[in-house]
Amino acid sequence: MKQTLAIYVLILLALVTANLPFLSERIFGVAGFRRNGAPAIKPFWLRLLEVLVWYLVVGAIGVAFEASLGNVFPQGWQFYAITLTLYLVLAYPGFVYRYLFKRSAR
C-alpha cells in the first residue's frame, strides 16, 4: 500500500470510528445496550469509553501501516496527547448531533 493511500484510509477510519459511538446505540456498533433487560440509551461515560477504545484500535492500525511501509519510530507521550486531541476533534460532529441539536417534539 502506498503511503498516501494509507494516510487517507487511516484518516477516514478515524473519522468514522470517532463518530460511531454518538451515532449508534449499540456498543462498538455490534451489541445492543440494555439496562434491566430492556433496550436503553447509552450513557455518556460509555460513549466516551468507546471513543477511547476506538482511538486505541485506530492507533494500532496506524502502527501496522507504518510497519508495513518501513521502520516504526518510537513516540513520546506528547505524540499520544496530540493524536488523542485530534481524534476528539474528529468526534465533535457526532457529539453535536447527539447532544446539541434540538429535535422536534412529536
Q: What is the pLDDT of residues 40-49, one digit of tens each?
A: 788 899 999 9
Single-letter amino acid code for the residue at 51: V
**H helix or E strand, kind and range, residue 4:** helix 3-23
pTM confidence score: 0.86
In a domain, 106, yes or no: no
**Parent domain of 24:** 3-100
In a domain, 105, yes or no: no
Query: What digits encode the pLDDT tens for the residues 41-72?
Result: 888 999 999 999 999 999 999 999 999 988 88
Residue 57's nearest CA partner among 92, 29, 78, 34 is: 29
In a domain, 53, yes or no: yes
In a domain, 91, yes or no: yes
In a domain, 31, yes or no: yes
In a domain, 81, yes or no: yes
Total domains in the chain come to 1
